Amino acid sequence: MRQVPQYLIIGNGRVARHFQHYFSLLTISFSVWDRSQPIEKLHQLTEQATHILILIKDHAIDAFCEMNLQKTKAFCIHFSGSHISPHAYGVHPLMTFHDGMYALEDYFAIPFIVDHDAPEFNALFPNIPNKHIKLDKSDKSKYHALCVMSGNFSCILWQKLFSYFEEELNIPAQFAHPYLYQQTKNLLSNAKTALTGPLVRGDETTLKKNLAALENDPFQEIYLSFVNCYKKIVEVQHEHT
């Protein structure tokens, strides 16, 4: 008879809480330990665990493993998208995690990016149905940098637009929601043709006006960097045609 997995989740941050909720929705048994609990409790839970999820800050992963998990026979797994650990397998959930919990179908939709030399996904996560793919560890830093730029950095841009609309222009932030929704749809439908506006048109007059309007605004640097980046992209494309 196959052994019933005994998960131990280390940490009490946002990702840890989401996976506690996900496992609860799947009726998967798990235990939780964080720094507010006695270290003796960790040792007890570690002895019982078959799978240990180390959901703490990247810089603390290796030290935690060296101090507390050297003797365990359980699978040790961390969720960092960039860190490479000699003590735990990297399995990165390609998703953003909000304060609020998600519905079961939202968790089902999360793809996992697994270290290329890790065991098979169904060994690391028995009874977890998510899509997964392996990635060479030498590519992790670039992979994660792109995730941060596309997800986190774009969030900063939308936060700027929403706040400026409401605080400076007296335009409800909700007025920009259809724009955001449609841009997202266009990206998902055909990413290669989703970009519109003065960059694509080569409208230097509008670009200069936009930059002038952002004078003394830190976002002027972002705007200019995107203009310069896009011009380099076009140059490279022309070189290959």
- Give residues with Cβ within 8 angstroms of 162, minimum separation 6: 173, 176
Residues of the chain with pLDDT under 50: 1
Strand, coil or helix: 109 = coil
What is the strand order of the sheet 30-33 is part of? 30-33, 7-10, 51-54, 75-78, 89-93, 112-115, 132-135
- Give residues with Cβ within 8 angstroms of 39, minimum separation 6: 68
Please say whether the beta carbons of 158 and 174 come within 8 A: no
Token couple for 5: 């997995």
Domain 7-135 sits in CATH 3.40.50.720: yes
Q: Give the span between the Cα atoms of 66 and 60, in whole angstroms.
A: 10
Q: Assign a CATH topology to domain 141-239.
A: N-(1-d-carboxylethyl)-l-norvaline Dehydrogenase; domain 2 (1.10.1040)
Q: How many CA atoms within 13 Å lie on the side-chain side of 192?
A: 0
Q: Give the span between the Cα atoms of 116 and 109, in whole angstroms.
A: 21
Buried b (16+ CB within 10 A) or exposed e, 117-134: ebeebeebbbebebebee
pLDDT value for 156 = 98
pLDDT value for 2 = 55
Domain limits of the chain?
7-135, 141-239
pLDDT value for 1 = 40
Q: How many CB atoms lie within 10 A of CB 26?
A: 15
pLDDT value for 186 = 98
Q: Give residue-wise pLDDT tens across range 5-46.
A: 999 999 999 999 999 999 999 999 999 999 999 999 999 999
